[in-house]
Amino acid sequence: MSTTQTNPSVTAEPSTTAVVQLYDTVLLHVSRAAEAAHKGDFQAQFDEVMSATRIIDGLNRCLDMAQGGQVAVNLREMYEAVSRTLLRSVGKPSAEEACDKLISAVRDMRNAWAEISGLPPIAAQ
């Protein structure tokens, strides 16, 4: 007799609400990276960038390229561009500005997912 049980609440693909929460966490890390860059704390900036890029990489790996069509292609390109820009910003004089631009782009994407999920948007700061 097998004692293996499955949990129906655990899925391979994140729910739209979980995606919004992941975007919120990315925004937090990118904001902290911008703050660290402003202070000249490049180790903290690097740590925050790495935390954000790990989440972005996870979102990227969840994309179903076979079924997702152009939407999946566009998301993959966006995820890769955000990660690339974050990684290239570490230690650069323009890092804070780069992070601020990424925050705007990621917030827009987060708000699109929030609308799909019936969650409130977050406003620009």
Q: What is the pLDDT of residues 55-103, one digit of tens each?
A: 999 999 999 999 999 999 999 999 999 999 999 999 999 999 999 999 9
Domains present along the chain, CATH in parentheses: 16-114 (1.20.120.340)
pLDDT of residue 110: 96
CA dihedral (120, 114, 124, 81) in degrees, to 10, reads 170
Burial class of residue 16 in the structure, from the number of CB atoms within 10 Å of its CB (0-12 exposed, 13-18 middle, 19+ buried): middle
- Let me know if 76 is exposed, middle or buried by CB neighbors in 10 A (0-12, 13-18, 19+): middle
Its pTM stands at 0.86
Determine the Cα–Cα distance for residues 117 and 22; give it in Å rounded to an integer: 13
For the stretch 24-52, pLDDT in tens is 999 999 999 999 999 999 999 999 999 99
Q: Is the pLDDT of residue 10 over 70?
A: no
Structure-block tokens of residue 78: 């966006």
DSSP 3-state assignment of 3? Answer: coil
